[in-house]
Amino acid sequence: MIEFFMPMIPPTITHQEHKVMVRNGKPVFYDPPELKAARAKLTDAVGRFSPEYLIRGPVQLITKWIWPLEELPMIEKVDPNYFEWKTTKPDTDNLIKMLKDCMTKTGFWLDDCQVVSEVTEKMLSFTPGIYVKVVEL
């Protein structure tokens, strides 16, 4: 099992935000600068936790994407574990794709098709970041 937390404000731009242009009458897909920057940030952060060996079997991937609270909720005592569910964009399926690609690139597994089970949550809390747990099945 691999488990870690990356303190950061998670990117809101996602893998699906490729752009397309026509060159010589043919569509050409490209990543806008914001997507390239988000991918580089995520690759750098997740790369610090790469395992010593490639996982070769099936994997369960559990992630929690935590953005900062916009305003302090009305609670009597500030609980550091307090959170609210984030019900706005980005969608969880779009978030996880880029993370899995970054984890493949940094040597967690041979291919992200090995991820056979996913739990992805998104929330707002006092400590923003991305929690990741990889369980070999």
Domain coordinates in residue numbering, the chain: 2-136
pLDDT of residue 114: 98
Helix ranges (H only) for 28-135 are 33-47, 92-105
Average pLDDT over residues 107-133: 96
At the topology level, CATH places domain 2-136 in 60s Ribosomal Protein L30; Chain: A; (3.30.1330)
72-100, pLDDT tens digit by residue? 666 555 677 889 999 999 999 989 999 99
Question: What are the tens digits of pLDDT across the range 126-137?
Answer: 899 999 999 999
pTM above 0.85, yes or no: yes
Report yes or no: 62 and 99 within 8 Å, Cβ to Cβ: no
- Angle, helix 33-47 to helix 92-105, in steps of 10 degrees: 60
Q: Which amino acid is at 32?
A: P
- pLDDT number for residue 69: 85
Q: Which two tokens stand for residue 20?
A: 């397309």
> What is the four-CA torsion angle of 62, 109, 19, 11, rounded to 10 degrees?
40
pLDDT-based confidence at 18, cuts 50/70/90?
low
Average pLDDT of the residues of the chain: 90
28 against 7, higher pLDDT: 7
Residue range 99-126: average pLDDT? 96
First-to-final CA distance of the chain: 9
